[in-house]
Structure 1
Amino acid sequence: MRSPRRLAALLAAALAIGGCSAPDNHAEPQPTTSYPSTVQKGSTLTIYSWADYISQENLTAFEAATGVKVTVDAYASAEEAVAKLRLTQGTSGYDLVVMDGSYIPQLTQSKSLLAWDKSRLPGLSGLSKTFTGKSWDPSNTYAIPKSGGSTGYVWDSAIIKTPPANWNSFYADFADPSVKRRTSVIDGAPSFVGSYFWGNGISDQTTERSDYAAAEQFYTDKVLPHLKAFNSYPRSELASGEIVLAQAFTGDARGALMDGPKTLRFALGGPKTDLYVDHWVLPKGSQNIAAAHAFVEFLLKPENAARETKAIGYYTGVEASKSLLKDLPYKEIVFFDEGVPADRFVPAEVTPARKQAVATFQRLKAVVSR
């Protein structure tokens, strides 16, 4: 299984350190009127994605239904995918690409993407509003949601008797003697530094130096002395009992609960937490646009969306797929947004504020390594 959140965090750090300007989220849509409309049997649809991130059963079913051969190339990091689309400018060789939402503005600004013909995607009407209309592409002109998740905390209820109520109480539990430094936090600035701001009613897009100084002081005094490790994927450590309290992405948290003791629990971060969504994008130069539209619409059908969730463990945003997944283990974690107000989630973004978050994070990691 891929590790997209970790790799995306690394790219965000690299971009932030190098400096980034505010992206243009409202670039003019590129024309769609000349797109071919007929799916050609015998043609090839070439997809660029994380490894093992598309249901093989769906790939086989789509090929059988359309006569289109589908090939999937895997990228090793988000940086690799973003760089390829920005540098090749129409010669990447890919027809369809999976891309983290936070990087969509950069790709639209560099004119690396084509606009979708949404008249060919009626299944869009069935997508959760948690996944659509976000800041990285408010009109979903260039980015069609594929799957996503959020961040929260996992704890062993046999040791921590009172469930964390919010980010502040989660971090307060680090000092509990029964925990004995069996703790971890995500190894990335957006989720870790961001959780201080979310817990204290501060925008994670703040550029005030005093806010970052306060976050750094809080973590240095209250968290780092009790921290075992920065670990974006503590699934195995939680399952073994090496870690009993961890900040975790929904996908990894669910895996820990599936593998570990029955006393493990999970809750979304509060009062706010992040939202990450991967999307389907059309790269400039796509040679099989008709098949790309057909494939995305195929995955927007509830039965096919359910197959995706079973295969990859992430929610696709297709609301009608939930009724087909009633027996899914820990479905409340997969469908993390069910019954949760939309304003609980803060879309992950790469903005000028990220530079300060990364600098703060690096200083905190340096303290731990001393």
Structure 2
Amino acid sequence: MSDSDEGLKILASVESAQRISRRAFMGGSVVAAFSGSILLSACSTSTGGAASSGAASPTLEDQLEFFHWAQYDDPKLFKKFTNELGPVTHIDTYTSNENAITKLVAAQGSSGYDIVVPTGPYIPQMVANNLLQELDLSKIPNFQNLETVFTNQPWDPGNKHSVCKDWGTVGWIVDKSQISTPINTWKDFINVAMTEASGNVSLLDAQNEVMGVYFWANGIDWTTTNPADLDAYEAWTLQMAPHVKAFESYPGYQFAQLGYGLSHVWNGDARQGFNSFKDPSRYAWGLGSPNTELWMDNWTIVQGAPHPEAAYAFINFILDPKNSLQDLAFHGYNTGITGVKEAAQAAGIPYLDMIFFDPAQLATMHAQEINSAFDREVQIFLNMKNAAGA
């Protein structure tokens, strides 16, 4: 499928997209940026030292409007930004990239938003539809603080329209007081979900993530378009559905309260769960194996933004190493700032194994893409949810 076709696909599939959660799409191009031990190692070098978090235009506007994922940054940082630089922030939220794009398209440059945070491979389509401003990186001096592996991505060569916010992956949380069977792979996850955890398991409310569980467990490329593979996946979803208690995109922080035995979860959300557990030793986190997902979200400035200088100032502010570390401690995702792992270790931030991954682990992470199977994959997922009564 061509880039232009993908753009039409994203913008046209509104009805199904509104039923898909945050991680419902990732483009395969990101894999190239994260493959190879050299690129993935913690010793990648920045293009320079830290710049001041306050570097920005001297004529900042008095407001800053975000169109953003919910609860995705430390609220204290927004207050700090206002206190230090002036603009008062306001956040409207969306539940999927498709939802955000649809609203921005409908607004035709008059949405009133300044910053939106799309997942990487959506950016070419957004640029093609004139939804994003071209960035002036001279107004973001702290851009130099990003490790080079997180810049110049295939979906945005030269960072003309985007700057890395953070990236993550997917795995599971298990309550060891309920589940005695070891879970080391997606195949183990499925077996336990259908036995010990039956009726007490949650899956992510995202069609691509659920699809990934099946394909990874069975050694099948999760970007397959083979009808036989999709038939087998569909049959599995109907077998799995009766065992599912809920499709929940953020089970981590409420895992204990809801009494799940096993949950399918993004790594940052899993870490928030562990931060909230009264007895963390009762639970275990597992990174998906033998393969799992990789995604990256990005700061961008909306075309027609009414407060562009404030937007530049915020992106620069959040790329300051101290502010980035504070944000990482809140959301639990790698921000890509040079030295952030060492800073997190020095700060005693807990559960760093859920944030930072070694080259061997990173080599198992793969990105999703939209292809000719997309509509069928969505329908299979919706049928599964209906069968589960969720």
Q: Once superposed, what is the RMSD of the aligned Cα atoms?
A: 3.3
Structure 2, gaps ≥5 residues long: 1-12, 21-26, 30-55
Alpha-carbon shift at residue 12 of structure 1 (Å): 8.8
1:207 is the counterpart of 2:225: yes
Match of 2:213 among 181, 186, 195: 195
Partner of 2:81: 62
With 264-273 and 247-256 compared, the bigger mean Cα shift is at 247-256
Quote the offset at 1:69 in angstroms: 1.5
Confirm or deny: 8 A CA contact 2:119 2:298 kept in the other structure.
yes
Matches within 5 A, 1:25-174: 38-41=57-60, 43-66=62-85, 68-78=86-96, 79-127=98-146, 131-134=150-153, 136-137=155-156, 139-161=158-180, 163-174=182-193
Select 1:355's aligned residue among 375, 378, 383. 375
Give 1:282 deviation, angstroms: 1.3
Q: Which amino acid aligns with 1:244?
A: G
Q: Distance in 2 between matches of 1:343 and 1:146?
A: 21
> Residue type of the partner of 1:89?
Q
TM-score, normalised via structure 2 length = 0.75
CA deviations over 1:151-177 (Å, ceiling 9, x no partner) = 10111234444542221121122244x
TM-score by length of 1: 0.78
Change (3 A) 1:348 1:224: same
Question: Alpha-carbon deviation of 1:297?
Answer: 1.9
Aligned-pair distance for 1:213?
A: 0.7
Matching residue of 2:5: none
Q: Is the 8 A contact 1:16 1:350 kept in 2?
A: no
2:349 corresponding residue in structure 1: 328
Q: 2:201 aligns with which of 178, 183, 203?
A: 183
Residues in 2 aligned to 1:361 and 1:325: alpha-carbon distance in whole angstroms: 38
SS of the residue 2:76 aligns to: helix
Q: Label 1:267 to 1:95 Cα distance change in 2 as closer, same or farther (>3 A).
A: same
Deviation at 1:141, TM superposition (A): 2.7
- Structure 2 Cα separation of the partners of residues 179 and 139 of structure 1: 47
* Residue deviations 1:9-65 (CA, integer Å, cap 9, x gap): x96932799xxxxx9x9xxxxxxxxxxx83315644333323443434333443444
1:170-222 deviations in Å (ceiling 9; x for gaps):
1122244x43532221122110012222333333222221111111223434x
- Counterpart contact for 1:102–1:350, Cα < 8 Å: no
User: Given that residues 60 and 310 in structure 2 are in contact (C-alpha distance below 8 angstroms), is that contact kept between their aligned partners in structure 1?
Assistant: no
SS in 1 for 2:260: coil
**3-state SS of the aligned residue for 1:91?**
coil
Say whether the 8 Å CA contact 1:57–1:307 is kept in structure 2: no
User: Identity over aligned residues, as a percent?
Assistant: 30
- Aligned residue number for residue 7 of structure 1: none
Change in 2 beyond 3 A, CA 1:87/1:226: closer
Q: Within 2, Cα distance between the matches of 1:133 and 1:196?
A: 32
Distance 1:170 1:133, change over 3 A: farther
The separation in 1 between residues aligned to 2:203 and 2:64, in whole angstroms, is 39
Unaligned 5+ residue runs, structure 1?
1-9, 18-22, 26-36
Identify if the C-alpha distance between structure 1 residues 205 and 94 changes in structure 2 by more than 3 Å, giving closer, same or farther: same
Per-residue CA deviations over 1:270-314 (Å, capped at 9, x if unaligned) read: 222222332211111234434322321221121010121234444
In the superposition, relative to structure 1, how do residues 130 and 152 fare at CA in structure 2: closer, same or farther (>3 Å)? Answer: farther
Among candidates 300, 311, 322, match of residue 292 of structure 1: 311
In structure 1, what residue type is equivalent to 2:114?
Answer: D
Given the alignment, which residue of 366, 375, 380 partners 1:346? 366
